[in-house]
A and B are shown apart, each in its own frame.
Chain A
């Protein structure tokens, strides 16, 4: 019990100064994690680009995927980034209720995004685009080894990103719990700022994925 209380206070009060981030070590930790994660996405996208550049029969993504729903999803994710910064802004002003509301909107935006992605995947799989090949209706739009690689990279990269969004929604919901448990808004400011970093990163990655996999 005492140990638990000690752990809680240790988390609530972070070391005051680091040379890298004036606010917290936690923020530095998240930035380093994101830098590593960015390498992961960078490698996946570079591999995508490499395979695409070396395939003569790469399908036109626009024909196979369609971009109307995805454009709406992109816009949704940008909106959820705005609700995320609003949550931090309200917490900075000391309004926990508003901050929690905007955190919830952010999580909701993420959940809808993943839902749209599930719908999109179902649609694409039914039309014949699979992780290990291409068949049925999709075969009329794309053929050959390039099309197979296209399916593989599409599901791996959007899946990896969707996994990040799913994780982000769980993370956001648990941060709402943290804000609820701490009566002092200033005590959870760092936690909300750090979840914000993660969420904006997921948005940033989607901007890249949307451009490279859907538009180009």
Chain B
């Protein structure tokens, strides 16, 4: 008898961002969402930078992990390492999840495709358009509300910027982290700390009070929104990360994300961080060019964005989602994983586990 049941597609998917820590990378959430999708049978290849990224040791989440060079090592060493890994793994799709690594992955995406590894990433132009340094200009040009800001390359310019923006101000690092400063001394301290960690420039932004809302979205690269899920943070850590959140029903948020995708023709996943002022104005605080760490909520709410991205990466046509469950909540939790020193030694010494 012929078996007419269609088998799920078998795919090898490589994922970065396995640092499921208190300020987590999105990798583990991305993998959980992909594993939830019944259309694939997947082998997950983790790509890590450090030996203590928890995802490396979650063997029911990640099948095998390889260390890759830091973004500062450049594209050549990254491509060499991925080529080497690909001989073993025959990767079908690669999903980078860190802001700081995206530039390199976009740069080598054609070379990756030549060895059979597909990605679904924005272009360098799209990446730059939403960069913190360009966001204010992007907002003005496209009629989005964005807080006023100043891009600083010298700390001597801080007093003038603070005077113009008025305290409190938000001092932001080039890639990550932000501090609210109420005095010049606090702003200077934050400037030096962020400069030491992430380099220059430092972004100084007008402080907007209100309700923090995040939107996870997926664009098809042709101006169509495949999925948009707004989430209100219910609990925020001291690092400003959502520890719990709930999906919202608000057309104005969905329309904003759709308009962003239409204007930028964004290709891939991204997150818009919104502050809704008491007057109801939606300020775009940041646009992160990759899935957020809470992305598993999109799968829980009925729009599995990571799975949809994988489908688009392998060339399938994905119909935009139309419905999701409002009032779906995620609550993050900490979990002590027990492992052996041999595992730590294996990833540290040999760069794979």
A and B: bona fide binding partners: no
